Amino acid sequence: MNINNKRRTLLTGGAAAFAVGMIPKASFAADPVKIGLILPMSGPFASTGKQIDTAVKVFLQKYGDTVAGRKIEIILKDDGGLQPEITKQLAQELIVKENIDILAGFGLTPLALSTAPLATQTKKPMIVMAAGTSIIVQRSPFIVRTSFTLPQNTAPMADWALKNKIKTVVTLVSDYSPGLDSEKTFNKRFTEGGGKILDNLRASMRSPDFAPFVQKAKDLKPDALFVFVPSGEGVAVMKQYEERGLAKAGIRLIGTGDVLDDDLMPSIGKAAVGVITSHHYSAAHPSPENKAYVAAFEKISNGMRPNFHSVGGYDGMYLIYEALKKTKGDTDGEKLVEAMKGMKWMSVRGPVSIDPATRDIIQNVYIRRGEMVNGAAYNIEFDKVENFKDPGT
Ligand code: DHB
């Protein structure tokens, strides 16, 4: 084919595609990149939505609303946090009616699981910013997670307990998949290391009453009570732990950091002192990046303290921006997910990367002690497991 023929073919091909309206919208560099952000902005888990929504605002303030020559448009939807079919329906509407390029958010595991098949069918990257059940990333090749997993945060706690003269434990978890992941991981690690589990207690995920469980744990006289509850429920657990006098009975409280959620620490106050938890983020993490983040977050929100969910949102946005830079603004789902695999950066939580094999986050898990700092309760990191992958269940 000579040059003239080639040019003619390209021209007719282009004109023909135009005529039948086949040029995909996303190919216009002038169009914004649309991110459909689905979060629980109301209901019992509204704090998760508020934290992530605020983190996205902090991110846009710092990095701007344009990347790789494309404007970024966020379309926020409130799923109420409790009904997986609503989350899925909102995702469907965002894809069909709003023509979004990327799905993001997902405050709780059941909401992420319900939407996963849709990400696969429509080839849309789905950035899980909060939900923490191990299996989520396996449910779609388009899922990339910037939050954490419960096995990842639980295993270091079991190891710490074994090294610190805790020989018997009662576990108390929320009765849904992340809780069951946490319970299974703790049981396995702790018993394999020679510890003894006296009982596994499970509280309802919706409007839980922790009183009977905390009382039962006290009656069993373990060395420690291990707790996992989702963000928002920690105050109720801490109140029972204090009122029923477990600390005075010599029963320590340990857990994943969800129970001493930074969002709730001002309400929990002194009851947090001495409680040991393992987690990937503390607002007290001593790095310049984190100090700047906490200050910006508190300023934009009139004094709210950022928690671990906010960081999942902040890093999710960072990942999207970096991937768009790599694809030069191309929003093709497969290309974006490829670009995200293996990405490494310095997060406000410490160094992180996306495991290219699983699309899950690899990060440090810190061991922290509840302490009062200038009259306010904080989780102070004193040890860490570096670059820890989700160990699965
Ligand atoms: C999940 C939600 C939370 O708020 C949390 O702290 C941990 C896990 C979840 O549903 O996956």
Question: pLDDT tens for residues 193-241?
Answer: 999 999 999 999 988 899 999 999 999 999 999 999 999 999 999 999 9
Question: Which residue type occupies 63?
Answer: Y
pLDDT, residue 120, reads: 98
| Ligand 1 centroid – CA 113 distance (Å) | 13
Nearest partner of 139 among 111, 120, 123, judged by Cα: 120
Q: Which residue's CA lies nearest to atom 8 of ligand 1? A: 132
Residue 347 near ligand 1, beta carbon < 6 Å: no
Span 340-349, pLDDT tens digits: 999 999 999 9
Residue 133 near ligand 1, beta carbon < 6 Å: yes
pLDDT, residue 9, reads: 37
- Ligand 1 atom nearest residue 256's Cα: 6
Query: Which of the listed residues 47, 52, 83, 109 should we mutate to test ligand 1's pocket, taking the one with most ligand atoms within 8 A of CB?
Result: 109
| Ligand 1 centroid – CA 229 distance (Å) | 8
Residue 196 in contact with residue 226, Cβ under 8 Å?
Answer: no
- Ligand 1 atom nearest residue 110's Cα: 10
Residue 368 phi/psi, 5-degree rounding, is -130, 155
- Rounded to whole angstroms, the Cα distance separating 25 from 351 reads 36
Q: Which two tokens stand for residue 6?
A: 């080639």
Q: Quick check: helix, strand or coil at residue 99? A: coil
| Strands laid side by side in the 143-145 sheet | 66-67, 70-78, 33-39, 102-105, 126-128, 143-145
Q: Quick check: helix, strand or coil at residue 106? A: coil
Residue 157 in contact with residue 226, Cβ under 8 Å?
Answer: yes
Residues of the chain scoring pLDDT < 50: 1-27
Residue 231 near ligand 1, beta carbon < 6 Å: yes
pLDDT, residue 353, reads: 98
Residue 198 in contact with residue 220, Cβ under 8 Å?
Answer: yes
What torsion, rounded to 10 degrees, do the Cα atoms 362, 367, 371, 376 define? 10
122-126: list long-range contacts, CB under 8 Å, 24+ apart.
122/95, 122/333, 123/333, 123/334, 124/95, 124/100, 124/333, 125/101, 125/320, 125/323, 125/333, 125/336, 125/337, 125/340, 126/102
Residue 230 in contact with residue 174, Cβ under 8 Å?
Answer: yes
Query: Which of the listed residues 108, 153, 280 should we mutate to test ligand 1's pocket, taking the one with most ligand atoms within 8 A of CB?
Result: 108
Residue 40 near ligand 1, beta carbon < 6 Å: no
CA 95, 98, 102 angle in degrees (round to 5)? 50
For residues 155-191, b (16+ Cβ closer than 10 Å) or e, as one string?
bbbbbbbbeeebebbbbbbbebbbbbbbbbbbbbbbe
Q: Which two tokens stand for residue 138?
A: 């396996």
Residue 306 in contact with residue 51, Cβ under 8 Å?
Answer: yes
Helix (H) or strand (E) holding 332: none
pLDDT, residue 28, reads: 61
pLDDT, residue 72, reads: 98
Query: Which of the listed residues 51, 183, 231, 235 should we mutate to test ligand 1's pocket, taking the one with most ligand atoms within 8 A of CB?
Result: 231
CB atoms < 10 A from the CB of 152, how many?
28
Residue 132 near ligand 1, beta carbon < 6 Å: yes
Q: What is the DSSP string of 265-289?
A: HHHHGGGGTT-EEEES--TT--SHH
Residue 48 near ligand 1, beta carbon < 6 Å: yes
Helix axes 308-326, 288-300, angle to 10 degrees: 110
| Ligand 1 centroid – CA 133 distance (Å) | 8
pLDDT, residue 12, reads: 37
For residues 207-239, b (16+ Cβ closer than 10 Å) or e, as one string?
ebebeebbeebbeeebbbbbbbbbbbbbbbbbb
